[in-house]
């Protein structure tokens, strides 16, 4: 369920598979709308202690921690220990700076994904920079938010009410999640948000002993980057926002923008299959898909078992499709899962749909994903409003059943009001930044990149004319884009605004 923002990104399993790795990961494709920090005066804090780096349990990376307040307005009320990871620059010359990365989600572990991201960056970047990532508050090893919500339950939520005026079908499930988070994690859940995470990132900057940092964020990481630039514009050396989210858009607008992008990618998926000598879905893959969706809506398939007791539904179909459209390297797996479901076996479809809601370490992303999404959103549409939006989107884009409504806002229909929503961001005082958008991104639609670039006084929008979610995760081998990114980050020049890499 990675959000709209903001999946799949990233797409751990995806990226790992693309690099020849194994195992499953998450995609949360998404990004979500964000908060505009509104001028609140906070108590002054003493500088954090320098990070004491030590070897990570495995590999060649270095691990450390940084302590941050749970509540910056009341720093004495408690703290969170952030897990931080560093890959020292590999070149022979001293590093030219530190590049902080966030892989998206929201909710994904930045530390778990750092080895994947290092392989995908243009080679000169990890040679010239120390690359740092961290698990944002409430995720990974940074006091993870655990309300007990089932990833399988989230993946199998039906996206469409039977008629207008009815609540989004996932409302009971998401209401249970919200109540569990209020009961089990009342002291931390309201503070798992992007504004406080941006403040955390500046504490990391201070603990690194730096006056400014470079930053690379993908998907939801573009929300974090935009909020950081709004709060700390003079602490930004360079900034790449890849798979950009329409950060000032409401949850409703994000759903309305994502639905046509998802539909476009699905049509491309069908067209690509038809061009094969023998499409696994037959001569009319679109008809196969719509027939399967109708069948799953009427008669969900039996639960896969092995501890997974939720029936396999059309929600799984939509989630699996979004994952694979976000990370096309998984396309053969989707073909096989669709064929298996057509023969009554929903287990492969569930495996794919769970990848969208599961972190690389196997932990459910559902609770932190929705905590961040809903704590960032100023307005939470109610169950009936969300259900009516789903039906309106399904009428316009019947292939996706109004799934974008559940995907962007389902978890917020019963979530408490946000303390620090991300609204009306207009960063000023930053250096020129690089915004990247994919024309065929089903998760963070290209329109989001255009809108995000327009918020900055000097942003250069570079377009990657390709399919999939973010350039770094799905097109990192493209030499045109490699030159654009490497040149900017290493100080060799920023490509002209409007540059297109085919």
CA distance 443 to 408: 10
- Name which of 142, 133, 146, 135 is nearest 80 in CA terms: 142
**Which position has the token pair 């539909």?**
263
| pLDDT digits (tens), the chain, 502 positions | 333 323 333 344 333 333 333 333 333 333 333 333 445 689 999 999 999 999 998 778 999 999 999 999 999 999 999 999 999 999 999 999 999 999 999 999 999 999 999 999 999 999 999 999 999 999 999 999 999 999 999 999 999 999 999 999 999 999 999 999 999 999 999 999 999 999 999 999 999 999 999 999 999 999 999 999 999 999 999 999 999 999 999 999 999 999 999 999 999 999 999 999 999 999 999 999 999 999 999 999 999 998 899 999 999 999 999 999 999 999 999 999 999 999 999 999 999 999 988 888 788 999 999 999 999 999 999 999 999 999 999 999 999 999 999 999 999 999 999 999 999 999 999 999 999 999 999 999 999 999 999 999 999 999 999 999 999 999 999 999 999 999 999 999 999 999 999 9
In order of their start, the domains of the chain are 1-38+87-502 (3.40.50.1820)
Q: In angstroms, rounded to a whole number, what is the distance separating the alpha carbons of residues 482 and 496?
A: 15
The separation between the first and the last C-alpha atoms of the chain, rounded to the nearest angstrom, is 29
472/2 Cα distance (integer angstroms): 17
412, 381 in Cβ contact below 8 A?
Answer: yes
pTM, to two decimals: 0.93
Closest C-alpha among 296, 152, 218 to residue 6: 218
């Amino acid at each position: 369920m990675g959000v709209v923002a903001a999946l799949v990104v990233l797409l751990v399993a995806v990226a790992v598979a693309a690099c020849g790795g194994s195992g499953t990961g998450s995609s949360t494709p998404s990004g979500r709308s964000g908060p505009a920090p509104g001028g609140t005066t906070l108590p002054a804090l003493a500088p954090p202690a320098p990070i004491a780096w030590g070897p990570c349990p495995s590999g060649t990376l270095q691990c450390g921690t940084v302590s941050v307040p749970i509540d910056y307005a009341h720093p004495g009320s408690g703290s969170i220990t952030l897990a931080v990871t560093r890959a020292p620059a590999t070149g022979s010359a001293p590093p030219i700076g530190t590049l902080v990365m966030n892989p998206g989600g929201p909710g994904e572990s930045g530390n778990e994904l750092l080895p994947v991201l290092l392989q995908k960056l243009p080679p000169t970047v990890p040679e010239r920079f120390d690359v740092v990532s961290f698990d944002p508050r409430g995720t990974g090893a940074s006091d993870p938010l655990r309300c007990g919500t089932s990833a399988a339950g989230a993946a199998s939520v039906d996206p469409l009410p039977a008629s207008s005026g009815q609540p989004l079908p996932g409302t009971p499930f998401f209401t249970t999640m919200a109540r569990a988070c209020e009961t089990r994690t009342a002291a931390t859940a309201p503070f798992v948000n992007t504004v406080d995470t941006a403040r955390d990132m500046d504490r990391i900057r201070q603990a690194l002993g730096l006056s400014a940092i470079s930053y690379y964020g993908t998907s939801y990481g573009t929300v974090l980057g935009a909020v950081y630039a709004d709060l700390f514009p003079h602490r930004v050396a360079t900034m790449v926002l890849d798979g950009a989210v329409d950060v000032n858009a409401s949850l409703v607008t994000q759903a309305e923008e994502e639905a046509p992008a998802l539909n476009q990618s699905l049509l491309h998926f069908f067209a690509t299959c038809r061009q094969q000598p023998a499409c696994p879905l037959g001569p009319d893959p679109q008809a196969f898909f719509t027939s399967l969706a109708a069948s799953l809506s009427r008669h969900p398939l039996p639960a896969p078992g092995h501890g997974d007791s939720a029936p396999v539904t059309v929600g799984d179909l939509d989630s699996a499709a979004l994952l694979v459209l976000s990370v096309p390297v998984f396309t053969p797996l989707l073909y096989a899962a669709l064929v298996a479901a057509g023969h009554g076996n929903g287990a492969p479809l569930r495996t794919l749909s769970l990848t969208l809601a599961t972190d690389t370490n196997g932990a459910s992303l559902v609770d932190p994903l929705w905590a961040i999404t809903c704590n960032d959103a100023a307005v939470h549409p109610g169950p009936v409003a969300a259900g009516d939006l789903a039906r309106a989107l399904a009428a316009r884009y019947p292939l996706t059943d109004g799934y974008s409504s559940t995907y962007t806002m389902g978890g917020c229909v019963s979530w408490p009001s946000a303390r620090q929503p991300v609204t009306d961001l207009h960063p000023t005082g930053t250096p020129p930044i690089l915004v990247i958008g994919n024309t065929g991104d089903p998760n963070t639609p290209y329109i989001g990149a255009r809108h995000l670039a327009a918020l900055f006084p000097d942003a250069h929008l570079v377009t990657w004319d390709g399919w999939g979610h973010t350039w770094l995760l799905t097109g990192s081998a493209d030499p045109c884009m490699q030159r654009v990114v490497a040149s900017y980050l290493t100080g060799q020049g920023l490509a002209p605004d409007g540059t297109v890499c085919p």
